[in-house]
Amino acid sequence: MIVNARMSLPDLAEVLAAAGLLLRGGFHPEPVDEVPALAAGEPVGTLLLVGNAGSDLWRTAAALIEDGVANPLDRYVERVIGDLARRVEARALFPFHGPPYLPFQRWAQRAEAVAPSPIGLLIHPDYGLWHAYRGAFAFSARLDLPSFMSRPSPCVTCSAKPCLSACPVDAFKPASYDVPACVGHVESPAGVDCRGEGCRARRACPVGADYRYLPAHAAFHMRAFVRAHRKV
């Protein structure tokens, strides 16, 4: 599994792990996947997704994030993935560049066994809801990749669906998400639990409990979520 003459796929995974990141699978894009072309219109032969599970990224990045810098975690990830992309002669792609934003959630379902959960987040059979996609490497070559391992969504056999009943303001419905109600609760005195520990609906899911974000990590994302909504 060679990426290029400079690095193998296991080597790339090892470098990412040292930065708190994971290779999250890959696939060979087709036009319907809407993967941006490379220089001079060259099509992408292989897309490798990069992300995190649990708080390893937070533990690694927290001490390196500049105080007062806007979007500090995104900037850290952009440096790490961008530097690596240059080393392996790939184009770096990111979910936070836009609009228009790239369809990372759709790509993720092509790359590994994740599926939409009842609260909208993609659920992983091992990581549960405690994971994210941070970037991707786009290669011109069609690299040899491990076979896609299909696994059923844990939500299929979850009859209780505690994620749908745990929200104090009932923001989650089977086909909708009341963002204003969620943000209003998080900013209120009653929302101290969600502000400090992370979304209560997310925490209600029993899958991937070992990967639950640290309180400081969860609170960081909750603050960013509220700020982003207030800018709209």
pLDDT of residue 2: 57
Helices of type H across the chain:
9-18, 56-61, 72-87, 104-111, 162-165, 179-187, 192-197, 200-204, 215-231
pLDDT at 39: 86
The structure tokens listed for 12 are 């790339």
How high is the pLDDT of residue 102? Answer: 98
Q: What is the pLDDT of residue 70?
A: 77
What number of other Cβ atoms are within 10 A of residue 200's Cβ? 18
**What is the per-residue pLDDT for 9?**
87
Alpha helices in 112-214 (DSSP H): 162-165, 179-187, 192-197, 200-204
Using CA atoms, how far apart are residues 15 and 109, in angstroms rounded to an integer?
24
- The predicted-structure confidence for 43-64, as pLDDT tens digits, reads as follows 999 999 999 999 999 999 987 7
The confidence score (pLDDT) of residue 56 equals 96
> In the prediction, which pLDDT does 3 show?
62
Band of residue 100 on the pLDDT scale cut at 50, 70, 90: very high
pLDDT at 43: 96
User: What pLDDT was estimated at residue 59?
Assistant: 93
Range 87-94 average pLDDT: 95
Statement: residue 5 has pLDDT above 70? no
Q: What is the pLDDT of residue 64?
A: 72
pLDDT band at 209; cut points 50, 70, 90:
very high
